[in-house]
Chains A and B, each alone.
Chain A
Amino acid sequence: MMAIRSILIACALLIGAALHAGPQPDELLDDPALEERARALSGDLRCLVCRNESIDDSGADLARDMRMVVRERLVEGDSDDEVLAYMVERYGEFVLLRPTTQGINMVLWVAAPTMFIVALGAALLYLRRRERASSAEIGAELSPDEQARLRDLMRD
């Protein structure tokens, strides 16, 4: 039974990527400030073999390697941006969970604010029209028949 069990566990570990795990105790840096930066950076980097997980959440071996690389770079004195640049150079833009603002990506970042301004503008225009109709108060005092007649007249 134990033998079967250990085989099963071994198999399970091979596909252990399904498990979320994150940094192991032996990975942590002694300097708390540096470690905090490492955690923050890990949250912004994608585990390449996982589905939509940051390396900070992933249990995959590759994620562990990537976490180690981040910590190595930090220990060697890289700034946060330098670490990210290093990771992009090594793994491609895909690794960044926070997309850059370069080139066409600018569209992604300005899409929402632009949409908000356009929507707000349209809403204000609509409200202004309603308000004008409101100050005229046409139709409010008319009976349904009169309103229907008015509509007919307006159509002509």
Chain B
Amino acid sequence: MFIELGHFALILAFAIALAQTLVPLVGAHMGWRRWMAAAEPMASTQFLLTAFSFAALTWAFVTSDFSVQLVVSNSHTAKPMIYKISGVWGNHEGSMLLWVLILTLFGACASWFGGNLPESLRARVLGVQSSIAAAFMAFTLFTSNPFARTANPPFDGRDLNPLLQDPGLALHPPFLYLGYVGLSLAFSFAVAALIEGRVDAAWGRWVRPWTLAAWVFLTIGIALGSWWAYYELGWGGFWFWDPVENASFMPWLFAAALLHSSIVVEKREALKSWTILLAILAFGFSLIGTFIVRSGLLTSVHAFAMDPDRGVFILYIMAFFMGGALTLFAVRAGAMEAKGVFSTVSRESALVLNNVLLAVSSFVVFVGTMWPLFAEMLFDRVLSVGPPFFNMAFSPFFVALAAILPIGAMLPWKRGDLRKTMRPLWPILVFSMAAGALVWAMQTGRSALGPVGVLLGLWVVLGSAADLWARTGRGAITNRLRRLTRLPRADWGKATAHAGLGVTVFAVAGLVGWEQEDIRVVQIGEAYSFGGYEITLRDVRDVEGPNYLSTMGFMDVERNGRLVSTLTPEKRIYPVAGMPTTEAGIKYRFLHDVYLVLGDPQQGGGWAVRSYIKPFANWLWAGCAIMALGGLLSLSDRRFRVAAGARRRRPEDGSEVAAQ
């Protein structure tokens, strides 16, 4: 009964979404205020109905209602509660419903917090947003109905894919979708602005927080996925350049570019048409990502719906929204004239360079991901494009980005002087290079990766600190320290996010460059030394979990005769899904992780054991967390400013003048 109500609520939401597409757009075109105003209650109702529908499906999972086909295929009574809930989106149909829920949530947010938008712009944004929701509701209802009942309910379900039964992966999709779908709002703003034919500073200010929020969510979502791969897949890889990973990485890169270019629109009223184009493309790449995951066209580790019909449907959605938006762009972009003027050496130019590098690196990922498809369809060559290509083709652009970041971040708006900007940065550059050279001399291997990581990491992190320090103006140190605490949160957010990027770049280089590996057969009771540790395999025992059987190794890790930790690497089997997984034994430490994997029992006795030292692994996730934190700081500042109105804006502008 509840399930049917949920299904019905989604159908109602679909009807409202259609109405909400037409009414406000017509109203805005004709200047009918009532029609425009109708968008707001519709946006809220649409969200509430979808939320109810989602709650109904969740209820079915929580109560293990095996008369629902989706619950049968993806749940089991013995499963812990958290995975019963995450099972809702651990499959194609349910995740589409989550996607739609988030779409309507963002639409509702735009109506709740959009009070100071011009009437017609708000109506158009809500209308466009609702048209996207309608398209995906149609997709869910017509091709992937999560509410389908089954004629013969079984006693128990077939369980969720065991790889997905993990706290990190339980949260990974919701964050990723919040990111993907958050970009839909930037898209709606862009299309609405094109229909209006006007883009001004206010538009930039309006788009930025939504893009920032989407970017923060994407950052967290990608980091969670990468962390999951690190501890779950059994050898500590964190990024595979898999089509599905690329599908989330491209929107992240575009969101980062959009974030920076909308600053130029807001502060300087330049780069308008480029920013509009970026907003369209960022969401376009979210759709491409959805298409890649759902169509199974590019098979990969986690594509769940290998159904060509669904792929074709999404292709239509993509063609409609991208085709429509880009055509509109081609017709209207000429009308967006730039106001702000600036010289070649300026913050604006640095941000243009930032955009060029981010867009090109995203393009590299796109070409590499799609190339096997092109090559097979057009040239009849079956080939692979794997990590070696991406590492080689992508890295130079990101190195360049990190190299220009501290300089660009400190250049003044409008007209800069490179010599003056570089003055506080020279010592940092020299110090970073010296540190890099020292590390190069000290390390045993020949790889340049680690030293370059040290150089870039220090340069970006210290550069961000210098940026913040420079904003405190001149005077006594105590005064400057006091001013540091009073800097706007946006400044702190910027420096924090940039420093987070520096930490991430360093960690990636360190992890890849200095990893140590050891593969051997170990008898029970035997000890071996590796990476400065004494490791003993004490025992291997069979252990029963709530819904799995485990072969668990007990391994003592000692350093200088002192026990650091007892790790329990496992091999698990989930009988219902009939699938094995590995659970590595990981001791997370500040400078490196000790990472142990239990392999197969050997014929001559003993067990295959792999041991790894993973340097700076924690720093990688910490770097992503710092980036996200920077975004949140900046976001909290914006809300404050929007709430406090113009009064607060003036002193901040003043401080910017003083800093120059």
- Chain A interfacial positions (CB closer than 8 Å to B): 5, 8-9, 11-13, 15-16, 18-26, 28, 43-44, 46, 51-54, 57, 92-99, 103-105, 108-109, 111-112, 115-116, 119-120, 123, 126-128, 130-131, 133-134, 137, 139-140
Contacts and interface: CB of A to CB of B under 8 A. Distances in A.
Given A20-B233, A130-B338, A109 B383 contact: no
28 contacts: A19-B581, A20-B235, A22-B235, A25-B519, A25-B521, A43-B388, A51-B300, A51-B301, A52-B386, A93-B381, A95-B384, A97-B386, A97-B387, A98-B386, A104-B379, A105-B381, A111-B363, A112-B363, A112-B364, A112-B367, A115-B360, A120-B356, A123-B355, A123-B356, A130-B338, A131-B343, A131-B344, A140-B341
The 6 nearest A-B residue pairs measured at CB = A97-B386, A98-B388, A134-B341, A12-B580, A112-B364, A20-B234
B579 interface: yes
B368 interface: yes
A129 B186 CA distance: 28
A11 B579 CA distance: 8
A46 B384 contact: yes
Contact of B382 (A19, A94, A108): A94
Contacts of B384: 46, 94-97, 99
B367 A111 contact: yes
Given A21-B599, A105-B383, A99 B389 contact: yes
A18 B234 CA distance: 11
Contacts of A105: 375, 381, 383
B510 to A, nearest CB: 19
B603 to A, nearest CB: 9
A28 B387 contact: no
Contact of B359 (A12, A18, A95, A119): A119
B253 to A, nearest CB: 13
Interface in B393-432: 393, 397, 414-415
Contacts of B602: 25-26
B269 to A, nearest CB: 11
Contacts of A108: 367-368, 371, 375, 385, 389
Interface of B: 163, 233-235, 237, 240, 242-243, 270, 299-301, 338-339, 341-344, 348-349, 352-353, 355-356, 359-360, 363-364, 367-368, 371, 375, 379, 381-389, 392-393, 397, 414-415, 519-521, 542, 549, 573, 575, 578-582, 599-600, 602, 608, 610
A153 to B, nearest CB: 14
Nearest to A109: B393
A52 B243 contact: yes
Contacts of B392: 98
A28 B520 CA distance: 9
Given A24-B600, A97-B388, A130-B348, 5 more contacts: A13-B580, A18-B581, A21-B599, A112-B363, A130-B270
Nearest to A137: B341
B578 A12 contact: yes
B378 to A, nearest CB: 8
Contacts of B599: 21, 24-25
A42 to B, nearest CB: 12
Contact of A93 (B338, B382, B397, B580): B382
A72 to B, nearest CB: 19
B341 A130 contact: yes
Contact of A19 (B234, B375, B387, B414): B234
A133 B339 CA distance: 10
Contact of B386 (A5, A54, A126, A140): A54
A63 to B, nearest CB: 13
A4 B434 CA distance: 62
A18 B375 CA distance: 27
Contact of A112 (B235, B393, B608): B393
Contacts of B519: 22-25, 28
Given A52-B243, A130-B342, A18 B579 contact: yes
Contacts of A127: 344, 349, 352
Query: Which has the most chain B C-beta neighbours within 10 Å: A43, A52, A104?
Result: A52
Contacts of B299: 51-52
A77 to B, nearest CB: 24
A43 B389 CA distance: 12
B348 A46 contact: no
Contacts of A92: 382
Contacts of A18: 163, 579-581
B54 to A, nearest CB: 30
A44 B579 contact: no
A81 to B, nearest CB: 15
Nearest to B580: A12
A28 B386 CA distance: 24
Contacts of B234: 19-21
A98 B415 CA distance: 44
A52 B384 CA distance: 9
A98 B610 contact: no
A8 B338 contact: no
Contacts of B352: 123, 126-127
Contacts of B301: 51-52
A11 B352 CA distance: 56
Given A12-B573, A18-B163, A25-B608, A98 B341 contact: no
A57 B519 CA distance: 13
A24 B382 contact: no
Given A24-B608, A130-B270, A94 B579 contact: no
B579 A12 contact: yes
A9 B602 CA distance: 15
Contacts of B573: 8-9, 12
A127 B341 CA distance: 9
Contacts of A44: 386, 388
Given A108-B368, A115-B360, A52 B381 contact: no
Contact of A116 (B300, B339, B356, B521): B356
Nearest to B376: A94
Contact of B235 (A13, A57, A119): A57
A114 to B, nearest CB: 10
A31 to B, nearest CB: 15
A54 B356 contact: no
Contacts of B578: 8, 11-12, 15
A116 B610 CA distance: 42
Nearest to B551: A9
Contacts of A128: 344
Task: From B359, B384, B573, name the one whose CB has the most chain A CB atoms within 10 angstroms.
Answer: B384
Given A105-B375, A116-B360, A139-B339, A15 B579 contact: yes
Nearest to B359: A119
A98 B388 CA distance: 5
B294 to A, nearest CB: 16
Given A108-B385, A131-B343, A52 B521 contact: no
Nearest to A138: B341
A99 B385 contact: yes
A12 B233 CA distance: 16
A16 B379 CA distance: 34
Contacts of B415: 134
Contacts of A115: 360, 363-364
B305 to A, nearest CB: 15
Given A111-B363, A130-B270, A134-B342, A19 B356 contact: no
